[in-house]
């Protein structure tokens, strides 16, 4: 039996790539490099990550493509109805980076509330005790954490918050009683207005559906506490950067941490750049652990399953 031909258009863990290369003819061709059109015409499947746009134009170039694997969680770069219309299967890795993102978010929270500066060298008595006096933080169990979006990551964020003794507020589209049945810790389900107005920390974990575009806008920011810490490690398109900048400008004790941006990288005219004393602009690092990256790359197993006539473990279409 002849091997299937699969294009990889972005980076992939080498262990997973080797596994795939033992079973298929693999062509590495980055999505933004010349000549991709000729390659797509020959493929039976594709493995992509964040920046390859899967739409009618892509599939017009790949008429024989039967399956596309997204090595990651979000499907924002996929036109799923277009894939379904053409009977192209889409597979992904929905739980691959949950732990990595949760650890990252709590790292950001602890960095913010428990500042710590290492001694630059052997310091004397005065410098030592001056550092101790200036590095006084806040215990996070004094705070209320608001979680906007209570999917896999949001639920795990809440579990860790509960272990810390943090008061947890939640808002999601899913019914409150369904969400309570899904976890074994206490939280309070509230509407968005109460979530925004009562949270000391607001962390966003909603999906990238079109109606969530600029979900965090002037109306939302206007409800936040003037000293709230706002964190977005989900999707850049959720936040109106101009409105966030206005809120930060109006509230000198407010802070924001953005790991994701729209577009990426954030452009020179982004209104948040002048406010970097109170907003951290990070280069999309939340899922960047060795294990999470490999977990995402194992989407190749579902790609091969489809090409071999089997049902994949994690189908999106």
Domains defined for the chain, CATH in brackets: 5-96+291-307 (3.40.50.720), 98-281 (3.40.50.720)
- For the cut 80, the answer to whether the pLDDT of residue 171 exceeds it is yes
pLDDT tens-digit readout, 4-54: 999 999 999 999 999 999 999 999 999 989 999 999 999 999 999 999 999
pTM: 0.92
pLDDT, position 215: 98
CA torsion 270→273→275→281, rounded to 10°?
100
Write down the pLDDT at residue 105: 98
The string of pLDDT tens digits covering residues 121-139 is 999 999 999 999 988 999 9
Question: For 238-296, how does the pLDDT look when each residue is reduced to its tens digit (9 = 90+)?
Answer: 999 999 999 999 999 999 999 999 999 999 999 999 999 999 999 999 999 999 999 99
> Region 176-197: what's the mean pLDDT?
97
């Amino acid at each position: 039996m002849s091997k299937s031909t699969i294009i990889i258009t972005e980076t992939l863990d080498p262990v997973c790539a080797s596994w795939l290369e033992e079973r298929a003819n693999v062509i590495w061709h980055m999505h933004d490099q010349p000549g991709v059109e000729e390659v797509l015409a020959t493929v039976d499947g594709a493995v992509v990550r964040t920046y390859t746009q899967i739409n009618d134009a892509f599939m017009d170039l790949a008429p024989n493509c039967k399956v596309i694997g997204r090595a990651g969680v979000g499907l924002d770069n996929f036109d799923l109805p277009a894939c379904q219309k053409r009977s192209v299967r889409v597979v992904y890795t929905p739980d691959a980076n949950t732990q990595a993102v949760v650890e990252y978010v709590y790292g950001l929270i602890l960095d913010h509330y428990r500042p710590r500066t290492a001694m630059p060298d052997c310091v004397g008595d005065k410098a030592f005790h001056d550092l101790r006096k200036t590095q006084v933080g806040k215990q996070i169990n004094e705070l209320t954490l608001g979680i906007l979006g209570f999917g896999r990551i949001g639920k795990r964020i809440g579990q860790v918050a509960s272990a810390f003794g943090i008061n947890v507020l939640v808002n999601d589209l899913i019914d409150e009683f369904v969400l309570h049945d899904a976890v074994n810790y206490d939280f309070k389900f509230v509407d968005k207005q109460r979530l925004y107005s009562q949270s000391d920390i607001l962390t966003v974990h909603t999906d990238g559906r079109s109606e969530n575009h600029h979900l965090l806008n002037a109306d939302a920011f206007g409800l936040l506490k003037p000293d709230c810490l706002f964190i977005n490690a989900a999707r850049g398109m959720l936040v109106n950067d101009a409105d966030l900048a206005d809120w930060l400008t109006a509230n000198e004790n407010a802070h924001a941490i953005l790991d994701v941006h729209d577009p990426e990288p954030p452009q020179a005219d982004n209104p948040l750049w002048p406010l970097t004393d109170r907003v951290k602009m990070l280069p999309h690092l939340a899922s960047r652990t060795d294990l999470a990256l490999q977990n995402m790359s194992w989407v190749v197993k579902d790609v091969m399953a489809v090409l071999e006539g089997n049902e994949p473990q994690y189908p999106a279409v």
